[in-house]
Chains A and B, each alone.
Chain A
Amino acid sequence: MARITAGVATSHIPAIGAAIDQGRTREPYWAPVFAGYEFSRRWIAAQQPDVVFLVYNDHASAFSLDLVPTFAIGCAERFAPADEGWGPRPVPEVQGHAELAGHIAQSLIQSDFDLTVVNRMDVDHGLTVPLSLMFGQPPAWPCRVIPFAVNVVLYPPPSGMRCFRLGHALRQAIGSFDADLKVQVWGTGGMSHQLQGPRAGLINKAFDQQFLDRLIEEPEGLAQLPHVDYMREAGSEGIELVMWLIMRGALAPRVRTVHRFYHVPASNTAVGHLILENPP
């Protein structure tokens, strides 16, 4: 049977992708950010997941306002990096896992999570920056990836609790897939940041640290946090953090924290990163 071995949470700031693509990771501004992922690169090389179920949000790349799915699962064989206005990132094409994705879609919909099935979709920095942070710059990504896009652009996104419960259903879905696969679930976006209006630049370290603590120790309580608290405390774009609760919900109630990293700033944003392992 397929099994979820670990969860990863990370910010997916586009400027990080640009720093990697342009070879600027050792510059004084960026070095502390990438230092926080050195352990992660070694860890994932040892883990060798077969599939990453990657929770992220599209930033007006694949989805315009013509179509705004709350939860969209990528069921295709492959996904191209999106052209976000300055040409696609020079990163490998993403290889999907159509069979597992289709299995998860059917299972989740039968668990009352009404997903949108997507068979053609380009993937933007929300998905490719986490891959670059964890895997560096290989000629091909070393595992399959199932993109799972959550709407956090048009208010309201799904609630934290909805995301957490979806994670539970995802655990069931992956656990019932009849193939010996090591699967990781990644939650991306955040941490505190606001990109718009006179309050742009908001960072709330205390909120972020407490979010990390509670995500590990008492995610059920954290899942009850209302949207407005994210927006008021962590900035209008800090609401992306609800996506981390899908990852946490997919893991066991008790997990082992093998890595934790936090840094301010990367461009406009606080960088947060966790690696959580399921008990064997």
Chain B
Amino acid sequence: MSSARDKLEGFIYFLPLFAAVLFLFLYPLLYSTYVSFTNMNLLNFFRHTYRFVGAFNYVLALRQRYISTLLINEVIWTLGSLIPMMALGFALALILNQRDLRGKSFFYAILILPWAFPGFISLLVWQGMWVYPYGFMNRYVLPSLHMPTINALQSVGDAWAELIITNLWLSFPYYMTVFYSGLQSIPAELYEIADVDGAGALTKFLRITVPSLRKTIAFVFITSFVFTWNNFYPIYVLTSGGPGISTETFIVYAYQQAFSYSNYGIAAALSIISTVITIVLAVVVMKFTGVLEGIT
């Protein structure tokens, strides 16, 4: 049902979005790539006195071990966040899935609050709670649980603990919801047959629950991985990448280089590296989940 004219018409409708994407995604990235090869900073930007310095920024990043530190941090941040989040979310989903549990909607409504409440605002609040030594957490909560206080300004381990606990608070409801609906969609008959066969709870869990959810778990893990890798706000608000650069990730570090230190050249280089990694990860997700068929 198409002719050349129809094809052109279709393209015209798509054009505004396409132009926006081109202009606001592609072109900035290209421009940044260019900038990453210069020594541009605040001073020479306006006078156009910046020079082309080749791969200097990249070499610098490698030689001063930014990149390896950032990569390690990314892995700690991503895996360190995802594993507790998914575990807690899964556990809660299992608990809520019990048929003889009362007050489900009540608990569900409360448990979903951390995710529903705007993350940025929550982070501002948490930041105040983590201040050492008189923030609410360090002054009341941790001591009353007989746990050591957390001083993110001094100790790297403490900084990571703070980040991961807060990120856990922010995101566990999402995983709880996803796994809960996954559990709900497992037909009850499967369990009933297992009961008739005499299976115990653990067997049912390992043989029915986990295999049924494998695809969901994998999909959630991979998409959350990419999301957490690029998650800017928790680190920026809570630790600003400190102490030193021990909790920096690519996206936070690039942002700071650009807007706190005006090292546009380095910021651009790091942005490019980060984007490339993200695209690679995104392609992996696509191939793995075959999502594309659902869209076209």
Please determine whether chains A and B interact with each other in the same assembly.
no
Which residues of A does B touch, CB under 8 Å? none
